[in-house]
Structure 1
Amino acid sequence: MKSVRVVVVGAGVIGFSTAVCIAEALPFCSVTLVAERFTPDTTSDGAAGIMFTSHSPDIPVERQRRWFKDSFDHFLAIAQSQHAPEAGVIMSSGWQIFKEVPAEKKPYWSDFVFGFRHMTASELKRFPDHRFGQAFTTLKCECSTYLPWLEKRFKKAGGRVEQRKVNSLQELSGYDIVVNCSGLGSKTLVGDTQMHPIRGQILKVQAPWLKHFIRDGDGKTYIYPGIHSVTIGGTRQEGDWRLDVDEGDTRSIIERCSRLEPSLSKAKVLSTWVGLRPGRRNVRVEREEVLLQGRRVPVVHNYGHGGGGVTISWGTALDALGLVRQCIHEMPLHAKL
């Protein structure tokens, strides 16, 4: 008999990564994942999923390094295994370029990606508007493939999924531990006023001749070749809740990306996608106790990843798993029996 009932809220890359970590590491837990939307309708489904990230200003760099390294190791193991095509994880090489020399020339994640170096003057000639660049090989995870793969892995570990909207944590009072991975939904679900949307619009184009990624350091213009298409973008519109495709943004994306890679003007547009990234000053991975229907129930939070969800998804999931272990350890013995 599985004794500790755990519920995970949210079916994006953070929810499923966390649910898999708990279900595989703690077989005595019965883990249920509840969400209103599943793939292909999550914000994660539109993520380019390329591994490098900006940093959370108030979280110790060592903790962020661990999140990145744990995630990189996880995705690298998949990329080097027979599961790579089914999970949608590939190696990807390219450049990050800057119009001005950045204050931080060597970001904290540069030790973990492969072959990180500064671009040479002759390499930068390709990008006459840019004065500095970094070249490296990293990993890319395509969530529309990866999420169904994670869901299968979760079910194989005994996990169950339930599709419904959770309007309040009070609805989850029948569980021993609640794990909140509701992303932008945390604004209403747990009343987190720091949460805000960062609207992202991207296009998928057919350009099989492109093999290297190019990302402008401002994070607004990027070209990421994938398995079946090339993702080009984008927008970073803070506080913007619009989910409709904006034709002005589409034109701007094609124009900006074609300046970096002129051959894109010949690429066929396959689809356009809009999603709201879960913006927050810092990622929130912590626990608290909440009174649910008169019972004190531990709640572990793991949300607020902004545009870097895939990049640190496994690292923050392992942190959340550690917090769940603490909650179980502190439970009265009869609750575990």
Structure 2
Amino acid sequence: MAANGTVLVIGAGVIGLSTAVILAESGVPVRVRTDEPPADTTSAVAGAIWGPALLQPADRVRRWVADTYRALVELAADDTSGVHLATGRMAARVDLGDQLPPEALLLPDLRRCTPDELPAGFRSGYRATLPLIDMPRYLEHLTGRLLAAGGELLISPVSSLADAAAEADRIVNCTGVGAHELVGDPGVRPVRGQHVLVRNPGISEYFVEVGAGPEFTSYVPHGDRVVLGGVAGEHDWSRAPDRDDSAAVLRRCAQVEPLLAGAEVLGETVGLRPGRDAVRLETERFGGATVVHDYGHSGCGVSLSWGCAAEAAGLVLGRPVR
């Protein structure tokens, strides 16, 4: 049983750990329960790069994204965080026009790409400096902060909300795609992502294709490795790497950046993004406990993480935090 007053956070991906860190660093006793270590979560295999999140509810999402941007920029000053700032391109095979998401105003150096900065087959794009997040290092950083603030992290699956409510009277559900089963939410669906990890051949800038379908081109450098993408397979629960997907990812990335042609492959990773028509961040009463649900971030968990975590922590405590 959790000690009296302990908040139970279910899930140790970026949403769960961020929430637990905010609570613990606010002086609240926190226990995180997870069915797999942070290094084995979907968050661990993300690209990962901050960017606008075109999700619902739009007004709240914009606030969460902006709050997270500011938090990540601050973290980039800490060499141990796994966050760094890098310049790169966001490009599309269609004309993006001048109507940009409001979050773009946060970027002081945002500008249109010149024609010679666009790869073959791309019609428009923008350059900007963005936070890039080395997720294995970043999750270690968050875990370290949680433990340093007195929080607990247990590899201990939660079988049901009734199980959680028997342990604590304040719960934050950050189970991602696992919410499909844990709370019986049929609106949660897996969006399968696959990346190829290669040894960095000398790349310092990122590239992200926007407005594409289930197959797109992206590469994000993190020191001595580069994470190549991408795939977005709706309703696919498989976590096994697909050889054809990897070959296609390598081919598309090499077409944009020739330095990646023949780069040494270090591995392949697969994660199940928690797709949902809208992010669910709300409170309900269950079995005498207050449960704050915080899931359904699709492929934008990192971009929404600190904003959602602060709101979720505020809901569970009944007062604003951070």
Other structure's SS at 2:128 match? strand
- 1:234 deviates by 1.2
Verify the 8 A CA contact 1:298 1:327 in the aligned structure 2: no
Consecutive unaligned residues in structure 1, runs of 5 or more: 329-337
Superposed CA RMSD: 1.7
Corresponding residue to 1:200 among 176, 181, 193: 193
Give the aligned partner of residue 312 of structure 2.
320
Matched, 1:212 2:205: yes
Q: Which has the larger radius of gyration?
A: 1
Corresponding residue to 1:230 among 226, 229, 241: 226
Matched, 1:258 2:254: yes
Matched, 1:284 2:284: no
**Structure 2 vs 1, CA of residues 60 and 207 (structure 1 numbering), >3 Å: closer, same or farther?**
closer
Verify the 8 A CA contact 1:179 1:301 in the aligned structure 2: yes
Percent identity between matched residues is: 35
**Structure 2 vs 1, CA of residues 203 and 315 (structure 1 numbering), >3 Å: closer, same or farther?**
same
One-letter amino acid of the structure 1 residue matched with residue 81 of structure 2: A
Q: For 1:1-337, list aligned pairs within 5 A.
A: 3-25=4-26, 27=27, 29-56=28-55, 58-61=56-59, 63-80=60-77, 83-84=78-79, 86-102=80-96, 105-124=99-118, 127-172=119-164, 173-218=166-211, 220-290=216-286, 292=287, 296-326=288-318
Other structure's SS at 1:306 match? coil
Verify the 8 A CA contact 1:278 1:306 in the aligned structure 2: yes
- TM-score normalised according to structure 2 size: 0.93
> 1:138-182: per-residue Cα shift (whole Å, max 9, x none)?
001112011111111111211112111111011122312011001
**Structure 2 vs 1, CA of residues 103 and 298 (structure 1 numbering), >3 Å: closer, same or farther?**
farther
Other structure's SS at 1:243 match? coil
Other structure's SS at 2:104 match? helix
**Residues in 1 aligned to 2:71 and 2:82: alpha-carbon distance in whole angstroms:** 13
Greater than 2 Å deviation, 4+ residue runs: 102-105, 121-124
One-letter amino acid of the structure 2 residue matched with residue 66 of structure 1: R
**Residues in 1 aligned to 2:4 and 2:74: alpha-carbon distance in whole angstroms:** 32
One-letter amino acid of the structure 1 residue matched with residue 58 of structure 2: P
